Copies of this chain bind each other. A is one copy, B any other.
Amino acid sequence: MNHSSQRGLVLFAHGARAASWAAPFERLRDATQAQAPDAEVALAFLELMTPSLPDTVAAMVARGIDRVTVVPVFLGQGGHLLRDLPALCDGIRAAHPGLNLHVVGAIGEDPGVQRAMADYCVAALGD
């Protein structure tokens, strides 16, 4: 299989000590991969879990991927997205000069995700 024109999509999450924490992120990765069969979809973590974002992107680059989109799977934009993620991306771009690395907004800011979360909150009143 020729990966040279394949896109990489990295779902970038915080990480946690409890292994159970990763379960919804793994389901999200699997659902995204199923909907985007032409892309290579992977999870990466800021801390406490592996793989890291630099390691994940390096593995994609080693397989010939030259375009990677990063989706921050965070609800809000705090220091992790305002400072840590840009610093990581600076390092990745320096390590892989030919890479097109693109970062989109935090998943929790998306209007569709916001609508689904509001629906869940309202439904919780009926529980």
Of B22, B77, B117, the residue contacting A21 (CB under 8 A) is: B77
Contacts A9-B124, A122-B35, A127-B104 given; indicate if A28 touches B117 (C-beta within 8 A). yes
Given the complex of chains A and B, what is the CA–CA distance between A107 and B39 in angstroms? 27
Tell me if B18 and A78 are in contact (CB < 8 A): yes
State which size class the interface on A falls in: 35 or more
Contacts A118-B32, A120-B112 given; indicate if A75 touches B75 (C-beta within 8 A). yes
Instruction: Tell whether A46 is near chain B: CB-to-CB under 8 Å.
Output: no
Of B7, B27, B76, B124, the residue contacting A25 (CB under 8 A) is: B76
A111 CB to closest chain B CB, in angstroms? 9
Instruction: Tell whether A44 is near chain B: CB-to-CB under 8 Å.
Output: no
Binding site for B on A (CB under 8 A): 7, 9, 11, 13, 16-18, 20-25, 27-28, 31-32, 35-36, 39, 41, 69, 71, 73-79, 82, 102, 104, 106-110, 112-122, 124-125, 127
